[in-house]
Structure 1
Amino acid sequence: MQNKGAIRFFTIVLALVSIYQLLFTVFAQKVERDAKKYAQGDVRLERSYLDSMKSEVVYNVLVKKYTYQDCKEREINMGLDLKGGMNVILEIAVEDIIRSLAAPQFLTDPVFTETMSTAQQMKQSSTRDFIDIFAEAFETNNPGGQLAQFFMTPETRGDIDFNTTNSEVVVYLKREAEDAINNSYNVLRNRIDKFGVVQLNIQKMERQGRILIELPGVKEPERVAKLLTGTANLEFWTTYQNVEIWREIEQANNALAGILKAEDMLGADEFVAEEVTGALQEDILTGEEESLFELQDEELLLDTTGLDFLSDIDTSADFSTEEAQFIRENPLFAILRPYVDNTGNLIQTCVV
């Protein structure tokens, strides 16, 4: 009898625990059914309804309250076979990684382009790593050639030089490709997290450059595909210390100040232009001749083409007299202020 009592006790406990766990799925599905009924087939309304319910309590066990988001995280994992969804295999373009690592001057080199073309053709009928195929294609097209010449850049200094063997270059390329694939893996996982998929399966496949993604319950395949295949361009710019480009910036400032000064001299009194125009008309009427140089000088007084781009510099009364004078004498520094310390010396920092 005691054994039967213990069995009955554990059976009841197991049943209660099972019901407790199943109710997470029941309440989560109830909210989703309500969302479908509310949306009437409108995917956006359905998603908006579910988003609004994430923080709402839908399962109350007296001692503990669970929101819809809590229930989604604890519901039974039914997978793609039971729940449906999306199965995606993404392939990282390893050939683009190789191009990004190559020195720019070799991207159009006949040997490099021919090697890349041959490797891409060989890839169609092979399951091997693309970098191995690339190295084999290079040795086939250029026996005894040095693969390192394509990848000697300031960024690879210390890893690749004239003494680096082809096998060492292959090891370096594989390491860089693996880093790029790992970065892509992390980016994809972060992007997918935005959908709130809790039964996500994402893994790198044996073949280098391929990532398998399973998204159970996803109902917007177009939106997911657009998000997963989106690209970003990370660029690096060479920068200079302030002291390295200070002289050029100062010369540009002085040149602009000279143009503004000439504009002031030309536009201070409108009657100057009128007098010159009148003098020209009088010369024509009287038949007096002037030299070509004199006419050119008078044209220069009238021509202000090319100075309009400086008209946006504000020297109105909103500024004090000293500030307005500084702007007229330093038009570039009024917009682009050099980074200096309290003593007026340039601070050691980088600018583009």
Structure 2
Amino acid sequence: MQNKNAVLLFTVLLSLATLYTLSFNWVANNYEEEAANYGAFVADSLESTGEISEDEWESTQAQAAREFLRDSANAEIYPMLGHTYREVIEQELNLGLDLQGGMSVTLEVSIPDLIIALSDYSSNETFRQAIAQAKDAQRSTQGLTYVELFESAWKELNGASENPVELWRIFHNMESKDLFPAQSTEDEIFAILSNESTTAIDNTESIIRKRIDQLGVAQPNVQKVSGGRILVELPGIDDRERARKQLKSTANLEFWETFFNDEVIQRLDAANTAIATANNPELYGSSAPADSVLTDEQKIAKIPLFRYLQPELQRRSAVVGYAAIADTNRVNDLLRRPEARLALRNDLRLLWEAKPNQNFAALYAIRDDSRKGKAKLSGKSIVDARVSYDEIGDVVVSMTMDSEGASIWGRMTTECAADNQRAVAVVLDGLVFSAPSVQTAITSGRSQISFGSDQSIEQKMLEANDLAGLLKAGSLPAPARIVDEVSVGPQLGEENIQSGLSSFVIALLVILLYMIFYYKGAGLVSNLALIANLFFLIGALASLGAALTLPGIA
């Protein structure tokens, strides 16, 4: 009798625990339905005032619902127990990509960029040709790694060269002399490159996992596939643009000294003239027509760069000019032309700001003392990054450097402060986040990244959290680009759920009826045991944080 009571008590307690675990799904669904209703109310209001069209209603409703859930993530929504929405969704039974919708992304790690970085950005012509030839071969060759293709291209080109180069001389430099010893054979160098490429892919996979954790995605799937690629599946992701940004961002943080604009404006003018001369040589030289008789079309032809880039001539700073956001790609194409690069010289890099205001972007003059695109101080020296507030209460990301980074930062800021308070640019993935003038030397090893004035506090906070997470997770060892992306819409997920549930219910009813028909009373008892087992199994899945997929339902 005592054993029977103990079993009954255990069953009741287990049932209550299972109901409690499954209740998180019910609470979360109710609150998300409330958010959807709020989003519909906002979209209806905007549509009634003519601020959005009927075609924009659905995206506006979804955006408003996401903002409602994000802003109330810490609101208590579980009756009596006081659990917040964030805590509830962490405890609910998760659905897989095939049921919930989401996105599947394939990333490709750029091994060519890794090899170039290991060579300390060598400009050896044979080396660069081998890199380019291996890239071309990779597009049409299956089954070979990029390092193997590079090895084949190098041996072919270097063997045919009149002045062959020993490969170790390209990779043996101050930073990697221990990795690539002097007098190493070509086979040894290629073995090291193969090992480094494998390590880079492994490290990229690990960093991607850390970044996904910050997106709050339940049961993501990250796995390596062939060809140096990484498959990432994100069930239930709402803000897909944010996810793309998190996945493909190299998070390569750099600190650069800058030029004053009056120090380089003549170079820009020379670049403009060089481009115009190459495009329209008849407008220059001894037989060229005078400026006073030029047509409007010819006048425009003589300012191909300044047609899109407005030089900054009013204020002395690191900003050399401004361009409409729609014209930045045109300016980039012009500045990449050989005649423009020759006029600008290789100690000058021109980078756009990360946060343009009012549809115009500023172009900064970066001083590259290495002449190879290598910063004196990088994000590798960052040991901590967190969201905080500056003196006026604006959102910033505060960074702390290690001892070596603090020493370099101290020297850079000392030199800039003494040189007419020259600006230091904080650059992330090739975009200037801020370029403050250095008033005094900073020897504490601390710095900040600000986010401009064209965003709301909520937007700044979201971006600051993302950036701090990227910096703490670490920069990717090599750039990664999205080569394939598949979005699974929630409607497809709903269709899968309905199909899966229908097949499940039909199969279950057939089994239950057959058990009763064949076994009579014993069959009824077995049916009750089966239903109880199913009930407890789903509760166990929810408590373990597992994800329910369509094959799992089947």
TM category (shorter chain) comes to 0.5 to 0.7
Match of 1:39 in 2: 39
1:69 pairs with 86, 99, 107, which one?
Answer: 86
Which residues of 2 match residues 8-157 of structure 1 at below 5 A? Answer: 8-40=8-40, 41=58, 42-60=61-79, 64-107=81-124, 109-110=125-126, 112-114=128-130, 116-118=132-134, 120-122=136-138, 124-143=140-159, 146-157=166-177
Structure of higher CA gyration radius: 1
Mark the CA change 1:334 to 1:121 in structure 2 (over 3 Å): closer, same or farther: closer
- Larger mean Cα displacement after TM superposition, 125-134 or 14-23: 125-134
Structure 2 contact 112–131 (Cα < 8 Å) conserved? no
Task: Give the distance between the partners of 1:67 and 1:112, measured in 2 at CA.
Answer: 56
Match of 1:217 in 2: 236
Mark the CA change 1:148 to 1:183 in structure 2 (over 3 Å): closer, same or farther: same
1:207 pairs with 226, 229, 250, which one?
Answer: 226
In the TM superposition, what is the alpha-carbon distance from 1:126 to its structure 2 partner?
2.0
Deviations 1:46-87 (A, max 9, x none): 122102321122224x5x531111111111121112211111
Task: Give the distance between the partners of 1:228 and 1:162, measured in 2 at CA.
Answer: 37
Counting matched residue pairs gives 245
Which residues of 2 match residues 251-270 of structure 1 at below 5 A? Answer: none
In the TM superposition, what is the alpha-carbon distance from 1:165 to its structure 2 partner?
1.7
Task: Give the distance between the partners of 2:228 and 2:78, measured in 1 at CA.
Answer: 43
Deviations 1:224-279 (A, max 9, x none): 224433345445879xxxxxxxxxxxxxxxxxxxxxxxxxxxxxxxxxxxxxxxxx
Which residues of 2 match residues 293-332 of structure 1 at below 5 A? Answer: none
Deviations 1:260-309 (A, max 9, x none): xxxxxxxxxxxxxxxxxxxxxxxxxxxxxxxxxxxxxxxxxxxxxxxx99
Give the AA of the match of 2:118.
L
Q: Secondary structure at 1:106's aligned position in 2?
A: coil
User: Aligned residues: percent identity?
Assistant: 33
Mark the CA change 1:118 to 1:56 in structure 2 (over 3 Å): closer, same or farther: closer
Task: Give the distance between the partners of 1:92 and 1:37, measured in 2 at CA.
Answer: 42
What's the RMSD between the two structures over aligned residues?
Answer: 3.5
Structure 2 contact 126–154 (Cα < 8 Å) conserved? no
In the TM superposition, what is the alpha-carbon distance from 1:111 to its structure 2 partner?
5.2
Structure 2 contact 27–78 (Cα < 8 Å) conserved? yes
Structure 2 contact 119–170 (Cα < 8 Å) conserved? yes
Match of 1:158 in 2: 178
Task: Give the distance between the partners of 1:200 and 1:122, measured in 2 at CA.
Answer: 30
Q: Secondary structure at 1:57's aligned position in 2?
A: coil
Match of 1:229 in 2: 248
Structure 1 contact 58–68 (Cα < 8 Å) conserved? yes
Give the AA of the match of 2:33.
R
Structure 2 contact 116–122 (Cα < 8 Å) conserved? no
Q: Secondary structure at 2:78's aligned position in 1?
A: strand
Work out whether 1:172 is the aligned partner of 2:192: yes
Match of 1:197 in 2: 217
Give the AA of the match of 1:133.
L
Instruction: Flag structure 1 segments of 5+ consecutive residues without an equivalent.
Output: 239-307, 311-331, 338-346
Length-normalised TM-score, structure 1: 0.58
Task: Give the distance between the partners of 1:215 and 1:78, measured in 2 at CA.
Answer: 11
Instruction: Flag structure 2 segments of 5+ consecutive residues without an equivalent.
Output: 41-57, 258-313, 317-416, 423-440, 444-554
Q: Secondary structure at 1:38's aligned position in 2?
A: helix
In the TM superposition, what is the alpha-carbon distance from 1:187 to its structure 2 partner?
4.6
Task: Give the distance between the partners of 1:197 and 1:140, measured in 2 at CA.
Answer: 48
- Structure with the greater relative contact order (CA < 8 A, sep ≥ 6): 1 or 2? 2
Mark the CA change 1:88 to 1:122 in structure 2 (over 3 Å): closer, same or farther: closer
Task: Give the distance between the partners of 2:198 and 2:153, measured in 1 at CA.
Answer: 21
Mark the CA change 1:140 to 1:189 in structure 2 (over 3 Å): closer, same or farther: same
In the TM superposition, what is the alpha-carbon distance from 1:206 to its structure 2 partner?
4.6
Mark the CA change 1:43 to 1:9 in structure 2 (over 3 Å): closer, same or farther: same
In the TM superposition, what is the alpha-carbon distance from 1:145 to its structure 2 partner?
6.8
In the TM superposition, what is the alpha-carbon distance from 1:105 to its structure 2 partner?
4.2
Q: Determine which structure has the larger strand proportion and give its number.
A: 2
Q: Secondary structure at 2:83's aligned position in 1?
A: strand
Structure 1 contact 197–215 (Cα < 8 Å) conserved? yes
Deviations 1:81-110 (A, max 9, x none): 221111111111111111222244435x13
Which of structure 1's runs of 4+ aligned residues deviate more than 6 A? Answer: none
Task: Give the distance between the partners of 1:234 and 1:177, measured in 2 at CA.
Answer: 21
